[in-house]
């Protein structure tokens, strides 16, 4: 199992980064990205700490820890600035909080995130045909989420991603240890969304490709 979108108490999660990673390791995770919520108010505080703890844990633990951020509810003009800043300062995964159906995310966030070149557009439930087509062309990964508040739109995201050939990943968007599901649980979750075995395997491979690419340059 690989999770490329998680939160710790550095934003609104419940656990220290080390405990979240340890709990994921015990559940059999091969890799996990620490992607706490950031905007212009806190990225200078959060990102260096995520980078530091990722370096520490990668020295001794048999789980690959990826430092990252999730740009969240930022003004549209700030999204490309924050994406660029995060990459320059050690983020290996940049997630942008997409236009979920459950929060008042600024309209146009999905498009700005894709144009800014984020790695993953998280729970983009209100995504349009045009934005999905752009994500497919730009190679931005579209997130299918197990998080209950965002998951009602998974079917819409899957349908458009399949239509336009955009790549998908499955993430927990975990805020507590109970949010971490196993690989078996992930397979069951995706099956219930109507995906077949080949499609599920491809989603897993998409996450593995991200991890393998980052390992190669680390």
pLDDT, one tens digit per residue, over 155-165 is 999 999 999 99
Give the span between the Cα atoms of 11 and 202, in whole angstroms. 31
Residue 6 CA to residue 179 CA, distance in Å, equals: 9
First CA to last CA across the chain, in angstroms? 20
Whether residue 197 contacts residue 169, with contact meaning beta carbons closer than 8 Å, is answered with no
Q: Which domain holds residue 137?
A: 2-217
Predicted pLDDT of residue 84: 98
Residue 218's pLDDT is what?
80
3-state secondary structure 127-164: CCHHHHHHHHHHCCEEEEECCCCCHHHHHHHHHHHHHH
- Give the whole-angstrom CA distance, residue 40 versus residue 141: 24
> What is the maximal distance between C-alpha atoms in the chain?
44
pLDDT band at 154 (very low <50, low <70, confident <90, very high): very high
Return the CATH number at 61: 3.20.20.140
Q: What share of the chain is helix, strand, coil (3-state, %, to 5)?
A: 50, 15, 35
pLDDT digits (tens, 9 = 90+) for 79-133: 999 999 999 999 999 999 999 999 999 999 999 999 999 999 999 999 999 999 9
pLDDT tens-digit readout, 161-186: 999 999 999 999 999 999 999 999 99
Distance CA 151, CA 207 (A): 19
Counting the structural domains of the chain, the total is 1
pLDDT of residue 95: 98
Confidence tier at 20 by pLDDT (50, 70, 90): very high
């Amino acid at each position: 199992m690989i999770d490329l979108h998680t939160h710790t108490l550095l934003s609104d999660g419940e656990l220290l980064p080390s405990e979240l990673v340890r709990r994921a390791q015990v559940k059999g995770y091969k890799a996990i990205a620490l992607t706490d919520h950031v905007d212009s108010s806190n990225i200078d505080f959060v990102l260096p700490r995520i980078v530091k703890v990722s370096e520490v844990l990668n020295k001794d633990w048999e789980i690959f820890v990826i430092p990252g951020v999730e740009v969240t509810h930022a003004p549209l003009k700030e999204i490309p600035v924050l994406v660029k800043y995060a990459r320059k300062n050690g983020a290996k995964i940049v997630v942008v909080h997409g236009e979920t159906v459950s929060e008042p995310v600024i309209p146009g966030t999905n498009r700005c995130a894709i144009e800014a070149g984020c790695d993953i557009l998280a729970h983009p439930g209100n995504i349009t045909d045009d934005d999905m087509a752009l994500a497919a062309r730009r190679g931005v990964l579209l997130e299918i989420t197990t998080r209950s508040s965002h998951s009602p739109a998974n079917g819409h995201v899957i349908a458009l991603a399949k239509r336009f050939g955009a790549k998908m990943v499955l993430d927990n968007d975990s805020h507590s240890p109970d949010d971490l599901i196993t690989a078996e649980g992930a397979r069951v979750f995706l099956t219930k969304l109507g995906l077949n075995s080949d499609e599920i395997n491809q989603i897993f491979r998409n996450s593995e490709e991200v991890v393998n690419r980052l390992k190669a340059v680390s």
